[in-house]
Amino acid sequence: MRDIDEEAWHAYERDLRARNLSGETTENYRRTLERLSAALPAAGLLAASTRQVQGWLAAVQADPGYSAATLATYFRRARTFYAWAERMEYLDGPSPMARLKAPREDSPEIPVPDVADLIAMVGACAGKDFRARRDMAMIRLMLETGTPRASAVATLRRDQVDLRRDQVTVTDKGRKERTLPFGAKTAHALTLYLRARAAHPRAASPRMFLGKRGDMTRDGVYQVLAARCELAGVPVISPHDLRHFTAHAWAEAGGSEGDAMALFGWSHPAMAHRYAKAAAATRAQAHARGAALGDRL
């Protein structure tokens, strides 16, 4: 962030903290505003004109490294910042984004990991050493309906795992908590991991999942999946891919959108609609194959 915009950022950061937003969300806002700040003239964020903000958005749109979804995200974050600045009377006039229309966001078909690849990834966790037990427990937990996000898995506490009721309580975006049930295989994997964890040098840590040098991190969760995929010889499957898979499976099995919102921690029904639409397309394709109309001619 340029020096001229640091004061405005810190005031906005206080507001984000007061709204109880997560550190990750706050950092995402900062990165967006840093990019906008760097693209503006010397007067900085609070003196930006509509045309200058439009120019920044146009540059983002023209960059082949950015998707339509990224552009839409940048737009929302910048507009939220300027709405706050206008409300707090930090602007001399209305928000420079007050009359700008949000860019159209593409709705591409959601890629769902192949079941055979998932089975291979789980199989690659076979073993009795600490790392194998940990990775098996972590991946099986993430394959349960409602897949915890990588950040929630990394910060999961030991006391949030209830092996008597076979459920786990995860802390999600906005520090919201949700409780997810898990099946017998996950319960068994967690039990074996906890037995191995007891001998870990940092076993006293309140965190559930431990790494070599301490608590698991969000990046560490990604690395675990990537390493097991490499060992299995399948394309890398990310934590978000697992959410796609379990959400798709839930919708395909006829699970309700309202229950999906509770299980997956979505605050807007648009996400549930999106996954339900993907499952409907899969069912339609399967029905079309079964009908084989082209083969009748």
CB 192 within 8 A of CB 137: yes
Residue 106 has pLDDT above 90, yes or no: no
Q: What is the mean pLDDT of residues 183-200?
A: 96
Q: What is the mean pLDDT of residues 96-124?
A: 85
Q: What is the mean pLDDT of residues 228-249?
A: 91
Q: What is the mean pLDDT of the chain?
A: 88
Question: Residues with Cβ < 8 Å from 149, sequence gap 6 or more?
Answer: 170, 172, 173, 239, 240, 243, 265
CB 33 within 8 A of CB 9: yes
Secondary element (H or E) of residue 142: helix 130-142
Q: What percent of the chain has pLDDT over 70?
A: 89
Q: Which of 103-112, 140-149, 244-253 has the highest mean pLDDT?
A: 140-149
CB 130 within 8 A of CB 197: yes
Alpha helices (H) along 179-254: 184-197, 218-232, 239-252
Q: What's residue 277's pLDDT?
A: 67
Q: What is the mean pLDDT of residues 7-19?
A: 92
